[in-house]
Amino acid sequence: MKRLSDFFKETTLHTFSDYLSLGRRIEQKIIVSELSVESTLNVALLTSSTVNGVKEVLVTQCSFFDVYVNVYVGEYGQYAQEILNPDSDLYASKPDLIIFNIDTKAIASDYFFIPYEQSEESRRSWVNETVVFLLGLVSQACKNTSAKVLLHNLEIPFYSPLGIMENKESYGYIESLEDVNRSLREKCKENSQVFIYDYNAFCSQLGKENLLDSKMYYMGDVKLKPQCIPALCADYAKYIQAIASRTKKCIVLDLDNTLWGGVVGESGIEGVQLGPTPEGRSFLEFQKYLYSLYARGVILAINSKNNVSDAMEVIQNHPHMILKEKCFAAMRINWDDKVANMKSLAKEINIDLDSFVFFDDDQVNREMVRNFLPDVTVIDLPKDPSLYVDTLKRLAFFDTLSLTKEDKNKGEMYQENKSRRELVQTATDLTDYLRMLNITVYLEEVNKNIIPRIAQLTQKTNQFNLTTRRYSEEAISKFSDDENFRIISMSLKDKFGDNGLTGLAIIEKVKNANNWRIDTFLLSCRVLGRRAEDVLLAYILSEAKKADIKYVTGEYIPSPKNMPTKEFYNKNGFININDINGIEVWQYNLENEYFFPEFINYKVL
């Protein structure tokens, strides 16, 4: 059966009606069960104007990453009533994401048209009232659901009745609208459930004069031209992709004519185009943008057909090379085929192929990877390198709902992993190697500061994840407030660096059963192979024993990606006591002895 993304890939999408028509087709196929859908999300859209078409176009945009969105569109202009009524259709639609698309004209009413009839004081109070009103709606929505909330900020008009004197007013109309936006942003920063969508920036990007078709506005209260809807939905899709944990992790790059102009094997280091020349600037800036992604935690790798010595000469010694050797988590510079290289990169970095985005100027290589490794996202780099940066900026694969300390240091951590692999070669056996690493594991009960990271790990970890249960920050908060649950986090340091918070267990102290149930047990792929998981498990067993508990049970729920953990409980002395609906239940009798790995230090924080 076809995947959703196949439809996206097969369809030419130029006009609004192309998007509209594909969205309808997909919806139709879903109704008659002709499509296999891996993941469905419920999205509610609340608006102050006519937004027909957004639903179908959003279905199209999300099909690209194999997520089907079931869109509920609220009654036109009835957003406040729907939010305030806990029995409304909005809540019955069980949204995962609620989008508030309330436009400036609707919220400002007459103030939009005749702002200077009001005194400065009333302009200031209008700002406060507007912010209180919008945030009041948002907080009601948060109270009634655990959905993420996406609130549009206000489009700042480019017209003022004061014309060129607008900025001379002590508290002007434009300034007042900017204040609403500033205030919304400030007040929502700390709330992990609410996101401000910078609709004003979206309008600027597309050109404020181009957004509104006056005829459609007067005839049908359409405030955004249909031709702009695909771009708006592409922005919404970034949030949906992040909620559905479809974020990509790694950019794999070719070298010649991708990171620099020309072929180093032919022209040598002096001949490549890279630097402050007309030909070299495209590549220089492309590298700067890639570096900025690296700095926010996107992993970079190289897959290039080249002589290692030629390529490394440029990487290490070219004066304008921005992406130095340390930026790459792994490199394949050889004459093997790129498909084989890609597979071995996935193995070395220890992430799945569907986390890769591939950049290569050569169409043959791109097609080969696309055909043989359909999970890899292959970017069609334009022929003209001056368009590389624009192509990169348009990609929305790396957005996450939170950005943790661990994300920002990810590049460095993968570099440290390279050093660890080098150390392996000097060790006599695994125990010797682990001893040389001088590992310390830190165990810590959940607290407010680490909740975003805990939730993120449950959403992103696939391989070493025994149950693959995904939890939002709100769900983790609930667990942490519930005395029947314990969440133990694990951080890891060794001689090469700090890996941060990279493992966790969620434990249910089953009432009246003399049993602790491990609901979730996972470890980031970054720290696999260091037996830190054995420390975490031994700690759980020791804590249970301290609490006079007799049994600890663990579950293994098979997924397409967690096969390597299948034997984890078995290897650690658990006994398989039950298989229910494909879930294996394993039990440890605490009368038996358990051991911490002797060469790993651990500290309880």
Residue numbers at the binding site for other proteins (CB under 8 A): 15-18, 20-21, 24, 50, 52-53, 213, 215-216, 218-220, 222, 225-227
Contact residues for 65 (Cβ-Cβ < 8 A; gap 6+) = 5, 237, 241, 244, 246
Of 218 and 335, nearer to other proteins (C-beta) is: 218
Shortest distance in whole angstroms from residue 226 CB to other proteins: 5
Of 26 and 147, nearer to other proteins (C-beta) is: 26
Nearest to 223 by CA among 83, 77, 89, 110: 77
**What type of residue is 465?**
N
Provide the token pair at 278: 């007309």
What gap in Å lies between CA 12 and CA 15, rounded to an integer? 9
CA distances from 87 to 90, 91, 144, 148 (A): 8, 7, 10, 19
Per the CB < 8 A criterion, the answer to whether 143 and 86 are in contact is no
Of 18 and 198, nearer to other proteins (C-beta) is: 18
Residue whose pair of structure tokens reads 């006079």 in the numeric block: 548
Shortest distance in whole angstroms from residue 225 CB to other proteins: 6
What gap in Å lies between CA 541 and CA 550, rounded to an integer? 10
Of 20 and 378, nearer to other proteins (C-beta) is: 20
Dihedral angle of Cα 557, 559, 561, 566, to the nearest 10 degrees: 30
Dihedral angle of Cα 474, 558, 484, 448, to the nearest 10 degrees: -30
Of 29 and 124, nearer to other proteins (C-beta) is: 29
Shortest distance in whole angstroms from residue 213 CB to other proteins: 6
Of 38 and 221, nearer to other proteins (C-beta) is: 221
Shortest distance in whole angstroms from residue 31 CB to other proteins: 14
Of 220 and 268, nearer to other proteins (C-beta) is: 220
Of 16 and 291, nearer to other proteins (C-beta) is: 16
Dihedral angle of Cα 98, 103, 106, 110, to the nearest 10 degrees: 150
Contact residues for 555 (Cβ-Cβ < 8 A; gap 6+) = 466, 467, 517, 518, 519, 583, 584, 585, 586
Three-class SS state of 442: strand
Per the CB < 8 A criterion, the answer to whether 597 and 531 are in contact is yes
CA distances from 233 to 19, 201, 224, 445 (A): 10, 14, 12, 40
Shortest distance in whole angstroms from residue 9 CB to other proteins: 18
Of 165 and 219, nearer to other proteins (C-beta) is: 219
Sheet holding 299-305: strands in order across?
328-334, 299-305, 250-253, 356-360, 377-380
Shortest distance in whole angstroms from residue 65 CB to other proteins: 23
Shortest distance in whole angstroms from residue 224 CB to other proteins: 11
The phi and psi torsions of 221 (rounded to 5 degrees) equal 55, 35
Of 57 and 457, nearer to other proteins (C-beta) is: 57
Shortest distance in whole angstroms from residue 16 CB to other proteins: 6
Per the CB < 8 A criterion, the answer to whether 26 and 59 are in contact is yes
